[in-house]
């Protein structure tokens, strides 16, 4: 009985992991990693953690996304489903250094 209870409790966690969650860090006005590979044709969740003290804006014309992330803050951005290809994004407040690419394949 206890064993079944544990499995039921784990189910939401397992399905959450299957959804496809990707982490992106902003540090010293750069994205880490600068390239993220995701599966094409699937909706994915991108969690962006800004470790800088200043705000940054995740901006992507390719992905049609724009979101301000407070200094030392976090934001969740849903992307996709995407066709295979490369999709660039940048930190609009620091575009000289904050550049990245999503690769859907
Ligand atoms: Cu913008």
Ligand 1 centroid – CA 68 distance (Å): 8
Ligand 1 centroid – CA 74 distance (Å): 17
- How far does CA 91 lie from the centroid of its chain? 13
Ligand 1 centroid – CA 5 distance (Å): 46
pLDDT value for 65: 97
Ligand 1 centroid – CA 103 distance (Å): 21
pLDDT value for 43: 95
pLDDT value for 61: 97
Structural domains of the chain ordered from first start: 20-104 (2.60.40.420)
Contact yes or no for 8/76 (Cβ under 8 A)? no
pLDDT value for 84: 98
Ligand 1 centroid – CA 40 distance (Å): 25
**DSSP secondary structure code for residue 75 in this structure:** E
pLDDT value for 5: 60
Q: Which stretches of the chain score pLDDT less than 50? A: none
Confidence (pTM): 0.81
């Amino acid at each position: 009985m206890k064993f079944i209870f544990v499995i039921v409790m784990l189910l939401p966690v397992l399905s959450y992991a299957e959804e496809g969650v990707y982490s992106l860090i902003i540090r010293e006005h750069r994205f880490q990693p600068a390239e993220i590979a995701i599966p094409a044709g699937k909706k994915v969740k991108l969690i962006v953690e800004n470790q800088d003290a200043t705000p940054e804006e995740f901006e992507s014309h390719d992905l049609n996304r724009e979101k301000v992330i407070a200094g030392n803050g976090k934001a969740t951005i849903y992307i996709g489903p995407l066709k295979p290809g490369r999709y660039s994004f940048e930190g609009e407040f620091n575009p000289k250094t904050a550049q990245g690419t999503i690769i859907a394949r």
